Amino acid sequence: MTRTEQQDALTAARKLAPVLARRAAEHDESGAFPRADFDDLHAAGLLGLMAPTRLGGTGARFADYTDVAIELATGSGATALIFNMHASVTGALAHVPDDVARTLGAPDSYFVTRDRILAEASAGALYAVAMSERGAGSRLSQLTTRYERRDGGFRIVGSKAFVSGAGHADAYLVAAKSSEPGADGGPVVSYFLVPAGDGVTVEPTWNSLGMRATGSHDLHLDVTVPADALLGGVEGITLLLAQVMPHWLVASYAAVYVGVARSAIDTASTYLEERGLTHLPAVRARIGRADAEVAAARLTVAEAARRVDADPAALDTRRWVWRAKLLAGDTAARVAASMLEAAGTSATRRGHDLERIFRDARCGALQPPPSDVCADWLGVAGLGGDPERDTAVPRW
C-alpha cells in the first residue's frame, strides 16, 4: 500500500465516521443491520481494504486496518465490529505469504480460490465469521460443529452463535471439526468459507446489552460445500493460523474498542459543553484521565500493529497483541463508565449517544481473548513461562 492509498483509506474512514454516528442510535434501537453504512463503506472502497491492489483492493497492512477501524468505531462501534470480521477474513487470506501457504500444503487451486474471494471483496462482497458456539465460546478444540468429506466436497453440520452481520453476509468463515480424528488422535479443526444460501439459516437470537446493531445471531448449518470452500486447501490449519496470526480473528477488536472509547470522550465533551458543566474540576479531571488512558491504549495498539506487520509470529508480537486487547477492552469500559458519570443521569436515557456507547464499550473485554485471559497469558509470560503450555486451561 502506498502512502497515498493509506491516506485515502484513512481519509475515507474519517469522512464516514460522522455519517455512521448519525445513524447509530437508530440501528442500535432496532438492532437492524446497518445497511446504509455498508453501502457507504463499499462506495469508499473500504470492503477491499485488505485485498491486494492487483485484485482491486487497497493492499493495506495490519497497521492501516487499525487506523481505519479506530476511525470507523468513533462513528459506530457496531459497524466497525462487523467491518472487523470482514477485514479479519480478507486480511488473513491476503497476508499469508504464498511460500508459507505452500509449505502448509496449499494446492495450486487454493491460490485461485483466494484471489477470487479477495477480488469479490473489492467488488463489494461482505464476509462474516462463524467461529464461536454456545458453551464453547471461541475455543477451537471445544467446537461441536462437524464436517466430513462428501460428494467431492464437505458436508458441514452444526450451530454457531454470536455471528456479527448474520443474514447479511455473502459468505461465512466457519470453523468446524472433522468427524475423523487426526493422525495423532487429536481434533482436526478446519476453516471453510460457506456461501450464504440453502443450508445456512439465521436464528434471530441477538437481543443483547451492547453492539446491538451487529445482529450477532445464531447460525445453523446443514450444508454441503465444494472442495474449494476448505480454506488453505488443507485440513487442520486453524491452530497454526491462530499462532502465526494472533491479530486477526483474535485481537483485531482492540482497534475497534479504542475508537469506541474515543467516541465516549468526544460525545461526553460535547454534552458537557452544552450543559455548561466543563468548568467543574471533577468533570475536567475525568476528561483528562480518560484522554490519557485512551492515548495509552491507542499507542499500545499502534505498537502491536507495527510489530504484527514486521514479525507476526514472534512471541514478543503476541505479547503486544495481548497487551493491546487487554488495554483496549478495559479502557473502553472504564472510560465510557466515567464519561457517563460525568455527564449525569440525563445521559443514561435510552437513545442518548453516551448510553449506547457505554453499552457498546462494555463488550470489549468480553471478546476473545477476554481481558482475564489476556492478563493470564501476559502473567504467565511475565513470570518466564510459555503461555502455549503453562496456563491452567489450554488456550484453545
Ligand X SMILES: Cc1cc2nc3c(=O)[nH]c(=O)nc-3n(C[C@H](O)[C@H](O)[C@H](O)COP(=O)(O)OP(=O)(O)OC[C@H]3O[C@@H](n4cnc5c(N)ncnc54)[C@H](O)[C@@H]3O)c2cc1C
Give the list of residues 6+ apart from residue 204 with CB closer than 8 angstroms, or none: 167, 215, 217
**Which long-range contacts link 287-292 to residues 24+ away (Cβ below 8 Å)?**
287/339, 287/342, 289/338, 290/261, 290/264, 290/265, 290/335, 290/338, 290/339, 291/265
Taking each helix axis from N to C end, the angle separating 371-382 and 315-343, rounded to the nearest 10 degrees, works out to 140
User: Minimum distance between the CB of residue 303 and ligand X, rounded to whole angstroms?
Assistant: 24
Q: Which is nearer to ligand X, 122 or 132 (CB)?
A: 132
User: Minimum distance between the CB of residue 84 and ligand X, rounded to whole angstroms?
Assistant: 8
Q: Which residue ranges make up the site for ligand X (CB under 6 A)?
A: 81, 85, 128-132, 137-138, 162-164, 211, 214, 216, 363, 366-368, 370, 372-373, 376, 393, 395
Q: Which is nearer to ligand X, 19 or 136 (CB)?
A: 136
What's the Rg (C-alpha) of the chain? 21
Q: Which is nearer to ligand X, 42 or 395 (CB)?
A: 395
Give the burial class of 200: count Cβ atoms within 10 A of its Cβ; 0-12 exposed, 13-18 middle, 19 or more buried: buried
User: Minimum distance between the CB of residue 308 and ligand X, rounded to whole angstroms?
Assistant: 19
User: Minimum distance between the CB of residue 128 and ligand X, rounded to whole angstroms?
Assistant: 6
Q: Which is nearer to ligand X, 130 or 297 (CB)?
A: 130
Q: Which is nearer to ligand X, 106 or 171 (CB)?
A: 171
The residue whose Cβ lies closest to ligand X is 137
Give the burial class of 251: count Cβ atoms within 10 A of its Cβ; 0-12 exposed, 13-18 middle, 19 or more buried: buried
- Residue 95, all three cell numbers: 497476508
Contact 181, 231 (CB under 8 A): no
Please state, in angstroms and rounded to a whole number, the distance separating the CA atoms of residues 1 and 53: 8
User: Minimum distance between the CB of residue 179 and ligand X, rounded to whole angstroms?
Assistant: 21
User: Minimum distance between the CB of residue 284 and ligand X, rounded to whole angstroms?
Assistant: 32
Q: Which is nearer to ligand X, 105 or 135 (CB)?
A: 135
